[in-house]
Amino acid sequence: MLLLPFLCSLSGVPLQFLRVTKQYLPHVARLCLISTFLEDGIRMWFQWSEQRDYIDATWNCGYFLASIFVFINLFGQLSGCILVLSRNFVQYACFGLFGIIALQTIAYSILWDLKFLMRNLALGGGLLLLLAESRSEGKSMFAGVPTMRESSPKQYMQLGGRVLLVLMFMTLLHFDSSFFSILQNIVGTALIILVAIGFKTKLAALTLVIWLFAINIYFNAFWTIPVYKPMHDFLKYDFFQTMSVIGGLLLVVALGPGGVSMDEKKKEW
């Protein structure tokens, strides 16, 4: 397999990238990660009646309960985004956004759509990484105080975040016999395995960021579709959800894979 030697030859690329971007990469990662919640919260504001009517028609729950649902989504997402960007009560914001994902998964019947379910799980993986980052920042307040080795909850949050993030790429695999599709599937599968097991993690994650961003711009160009067409909203939703996964991968690039990874184990060998 030629991909692994190629990645080894480029192992210095993430370090150079981090040297140049370390000042603002975590901020860009957080902004990308919460972008889908920000866009959806704003959409709830401007499409209040449409969203309320859809929930009422789907669940036959009446205007009052449907309005409560829309309000929870609007307030929960926008307030969570503000807290994450301002770096205040980030852990509470993450739990709140986890709740929004669960609520939408049930309300919009995403649970029965494998593609959307996997993408929602990938989004949850990004939040897990953000939660792990917030735990690191909390510990940094006690710099100089002797501590035990990195806590296992954070390590396993990073592992869970990495594994869930790669579910996004499983929805991009194309099962046809064209050479490009086969090549894309082989390379993509190799990269997501490397991220999941934590080997050459930063380089693999950075490669996936570039690949996913290019695919997102090409396939989800909602700005080319008139606003009044349903496809505009569909592509816009897909675009920002993909940007959130990109944000999670950028956190992997910025923070590393964590303790439960082959990259970390190599330091002990």
pLDDT digits (tens, 9 = 90+) for 158-169: 889 999 988 888
Domain ranges (residues) in the chain: 24-137+151-261
Res 148 pLDDT > 50: no
pLDDT digits (tens, 9 = 90+) for 174-188: 666 777 778 777 888
> Which tokens hold the place of 141?
């307040």
Share of the chain above pLDDT 90, in %: 43
Share of the chain above pLDDT 70, in %: 83
Q: How far is CA 149 from CA 155, 166, 260, in A?
A: 11, 27, 13
Put residue 262 in one of left, alpha, beta given phi > 0 → left and psi -120 to 50 → alpha. Answer: alpha
Question: What pTM value is reported for the model?
Answer: 0.84
pLDDT at 172: 73
pLDDT at 3: 54
pLDDT digits (tens, 9 = 90+) for 221-251: 999 999 889 899 889 988 999 899 999 999 9
pLDDT at 9: 54
Q: Residue range 27-51: average pLDDT?
A: 93
pLDDT at 177: 73
Question: Cβ distance 173 to 188 under 8 Å?
Answer: yes
pLDDT at 260: 81
Res 265 pLDDT > 50: yes
pLDDT at 18: 62
Question: Cβ distance 240 to 36 under 8 Å?
Answer: yes
Location of structure tokens 């379910």: 117
Q: Which of 174, 187, 163 is nearest to 258 (CA)?
A: 163
Amino acid at site 165: L
pLDDT at 17: 64
Residue 59 CB neighbour total at 10 angstroms: 14
Q: Which residues contact 4 (CB under 8 A, 6 or more apart)?
A: 190, 200
pLDDT digits (tens, 9 = 90+) for 62-113: 999 999 999 999 999 999 999 999 999 999 999 999 999 999 999 888 878 8
